[in-house]
Amino acid sequence: MNWNDEITTGEHEIQQALHASGRLPQHIAIIMDGNGRWAQSQSLPRLAGHKQGVETVRDIVKASSQTGIKYLTLYAFSLENWKRPQTEVRGLMKLLEHYLNKEVDELHKNNVRITAIGKLNALPKNVLTLLQAAIERTATNDGLTLCLALSYGARWDIVRATQLLALDVRRGKLSPEDITEESFSSYLTTGSIPDPDLVIRTSGELRISNFLLWEIAYAELYVTQKNFPEFARTDLYEALLSYTQRERRFGLISSQLDTKNNAPQSSYLKRVVDALTNR
Ligand code: IPE
Ligand code: IPE
Ligand code: MG
């Protein structure tokens, strides 16, 4: 199924309006939280929440691709999550296996490039094999880059990068004076992807939970009360709309910023809001 053939007129309108702002983020990162609480609210077991979360993933990936977002990072499983009850961890790994088995064909057909960050060798062997196959198969796609954060922890990544860097210094490949923010970044597992512009967290928690600590130095944050299983594409558009209204100053003052970026937004804004409320 070609996702671009599925876009409805209303949706096209929203996407066009967002594009017209000239301010869409290049990279969105999502802390997909609240699956358990959603399940509890429906009197279902936690795993049912994770299952429903996979449905949300499918839709958000599609909507991001259709909107022309270049990078989407999904925090799917943290290093700390390994300490959850065994049955939940096993259930999550099964879901991941199922997702990779079922979705990669469609992702590939839609030009999505799959990548992953995290301590991947801690994943069950069958999951790792599927993941590596998906990464290889989609390596030359140039549409959306879907980065799965699996068995991921930002502090782990920073320590690992430091170890690799120290080894290069010891081998004489790099001198301590050559260590810059850029060269350090290149040792992180996120080395080949740009920093996130927008971080979305679902379920209302106001914390980062060891996600991309280095990379989010200047990311815009957006927190929604919705639990991840009920986070819909319209919620994504609302987050994007909020993002387009932000003034990213990077430590400067307003008058120093590129005026093009400060162009009045009212006409496109009205179109987006109208399109969102007309659904
Ligand atoms: C997010 O939902 C999914 C993972 C962390 C794997 P949770 O499982 O954390 O759901 P809550 O936060 O307990 O509701
Ligand atoms: C963050 O959610 C990790 C993922 C979304 C994969 P958690 O549910 O693990 O975070 P805390 O424990 O509430 O901080
Ligand atoms: Mg949680």
Structural domain span for residue 201:
3-277
Active site residues per annotation: 33, 81
How much distance in Å is there from the Cα of 23 to the middle of ligand 1?
A: 31
Q: What is the pLDDT of residue 266?
A: 64
How much distance in Å is there from the Cα of 153 to the middle of ligand 3?
A: 15
Q: Across 32-177, where does the E strand assignment appear?
A: 71-78, 113-117, 145-152
* Residue 32 Cα: closest atom of ligand 2: 5
Task: From residue 146, give the alpha-carbon distance in Å to each of 62, 91, 114, 175, 206.
Answer: 11, 22, 5, 34, 24
Its pTM stands at 0.96
pLDDT truncated to tens, each residue of the chain (279 aa)? 899 999 988 888 888 889 888 999 999 999 999 999 999 999 999 999 999 999 999 999 999 999 999 999 999 999 999 999 999 999 999 999 999 999 999 999 999 999 999 999 999 999 999 999 999 999 999 999 999 999 999 999 999 999 999 999 999 999 999 999 999 999 999 999 999 999 999 999 999 999 999 999 999 999 999 999 999 999 999 999 999 999 999 999 999 997 655 444 667 777 777 777 775
* Residue 37 Cα: closest atom of ligand 1: 14
Q: How many CA atoms lie less than 13 Å away from 254 in the CB half-sphere?
A: 4
Ligand of minimum distance to the alpha carbon of 95: 1
How much distance in Å is there from the Cα of 99 to the middle of ligand 2?
A: 20
**What total number of domains does the chain contain?**
1
Q: Return the CATH number at 145.
A: 3.40.1180.10
